[in-house]
Amino acid sequence: MEWFVVRMWLRQFLYAVYARRLRKRLDGANLPRHLAMVMDGNRRWARQMGFDDPRVGHRYGAEHLDEVLGWCAEMGIRHVTVFVASVDNMRRRDAGEVGNLMRMIEDVVAERLSRPSSVWRLHLAGRLDVLPDSTRDALKLAADSSRDAARSTADGHGGFHLNIAIGYDGREEIVTAIRALLDEEAKAGYSVADIAQRLTADRIAAHLYTGGQPDPDLVIRTSGERRMSGFLLWQAAYSELHFCDVYWPGFRRIDFLRALRSYAARNRRFGA
């Protein structure tokens, strides 16, 4: 038993030393202004940890988001978008699992983001009409609370913005943005020919869920999957991608710092 305790202490010590070294190397580095994350692998993590009910992973995953946002704030990353659930997740997964995930969103994510101590201003991205009433109301309340907190602080709540992508579909977002732009132009009295002439990528982007925010510089996906799953199809056109083999609840600070180190070492070409 004593040897086990010593080994655990030594492991934690070495982890802390390594994390400090990684953090130090990022001083003055080029870091993303906007970080997007696909928080994948909650259920697989729960099975790996021996839980009988894999849905337990959703609670650990929801609670872990709070910690990761703290890492982002510490590094000065002021825009974060997290992929919580797609429209397909809501429609195709077991009703019990979806209900459990929604409760985690209400009890953990929405509750913590609505606290006065939170530095994050919450923005919602997705079809709220596919969410349960209780989840939709909790998220709207959290968004309103964070907006009020931003107005009440001299520095605009620190300028930290969190987009929660829930009930989200990337292609549907683009269609919705174009539809909103066309409706706006029609109400202003423009003809179809005029609208076509005035149509630009920037004008479409202004009507996306993330309108007014910079596009994500870096997208991290956990769990080892190497695909985007329809996430931020427009905004991530020139994003750098980082795929991490650990499951979301097991995503450690050193995994986060390694992703930033990888990003800082890249020469971004933006399609050139």
Domain range list for the chain? 33-168+216-264
As annotated, the binding site for Mg(2+) includes 40, 240
Chain segment 94-127, per-residue pLDDT in tens: 888 899 999 999 999 999 998 888 999 999 999 9
Give the three-class secondary structure for 225.
coil
The model's pTM is 0.92
Output the pLDDT for position 158: 57
163 belongs to the catalytic site? no
Handedness of CA 84, 89, 91, 96 (dihedral sign): negative
Catalytic residue at 89? yes
In the three-class reduction of DSSP (H, G, I as helix; E, B as strand; rest coil), residue 159 is classed as: helix
Residue 114 DSSP SS3: coil
CATH of domain 33-168+216-264: 3.40.1180.10
Q: How far is Cα 213 from Cα 209, in angstroms, rounded to an integer?
A: 9
What average pLDDT score do residues 150-176 get? Answer: 83
Rounded Cα distance between 177 and 171, Å, is: 10
Annotated binding-site ranges for substrate: 41-45, 55, 58, 86-88, 93, 221, 227-229
In the block, tokens 């969190």 appear at 162
- Which residue in the list 30, 89, 107, 155 is annotated as catalytic? 89
What confidence tier does 1 reach under pLDDT thresholds 50, 70, 90?
low
Q: Annotated binding residues, as ranges?
A: 40-45, 55, 58, 86-88, 93, 221, 227-229, 240
218-270 pLDDT tens trace: 999 999 999 999 999 999 999 999 999 999 999 999 999 999 999 999 998 88
